[in-house]
Amino acid sequence: MGLFNRIVDAVNSPEREASTGQLDTILSTVQALAQSQGIDPATTQMLASVVGRHVRSNLKSTRQNQSEDQAEALVNRYSGVSPNLGAVQALFNQQEQGQMVQEAAQKTGVNAGTIQAMLPILVPVILNLLKTGAVSQSGSRKSNSVLSAFLDTDRDGDLDIGDAMAMAGQYLNQNRHV
């Protein structure tokens, strides 16, 4: 099941933290960030995809080298919609940040300095999207279904973060007009 389907399942599950309000806040934050930097939606989606791939790589590494619980703890601790440089530093060392910024600049045409400035908002927002699958009831040992889907992808055409955000926007717009 693709990442977006897991997000929709989480929204529809009373056991999960996800809600349409949470998705709306995530998307509004990304939209406001892009607008403040003069970046169009397609470029923003591509930027989210590049950063999302790096987030996936580092969370997978955390899961392999430490534990699934540690990867989930990083998501829970650093997810949000406010700027948080600590989130960027928790996931990426300076060299990794530089590589991610350069890759994103090459793929999007956005100035590297602008991308670097956007990371303290973009990384927590991506983690917040992943947190939608967290179990809302304390004491449950069920894992975060969205995070698991995100980390278990094998690049077989499954959706990435940018695609999932775009589809979440379409989903929200359809459900607002019902």
Q: What is the pLDDT of residue 174?
A: 66
pLDDT at 138: 62
Neighbours of 142 (CB within 10 A): 12
Record the pTM: 0.88
Our CA angle for 17, 7, 29, nearest 5°, is: 75
HEC string of the chain equals CCHHHHHHHHHHCCCECCCHHHHHHHHHHHHHHHHHHCCCHHHHHHHHHHHHHHHHHHHHHHHHHCCHHHHHHHHHHHCCCCCCHHHHHHHCCHHHHHHHHHHHHHHHCCCHHHHHHHHHHHHHHHHHHHHCCCECCCCCCCCCHHHHHHHCCCCCCCCCHHHHHHHHHHHHHHHHCC
CA distance 20 to 172: 7
What is the model's pLDDT at position 104? 96
Residue 61 has a pLDDT of 94
Among 20, 8, 41, 6, which Cα is nearest to 176's? 20
Q: Is 139 left (phi over 0), alpha (psi -120 to 50) or beta?
A: left
What integer pLDDT is reported at residue 167 of this predicted model? 76
Q: What is the mean pLDDT of each run of 10 residues along the chain (178 residues)?
A: 81 88 91 93 91 94 93 95 96 96 96 96 95 77 83 60 75 58
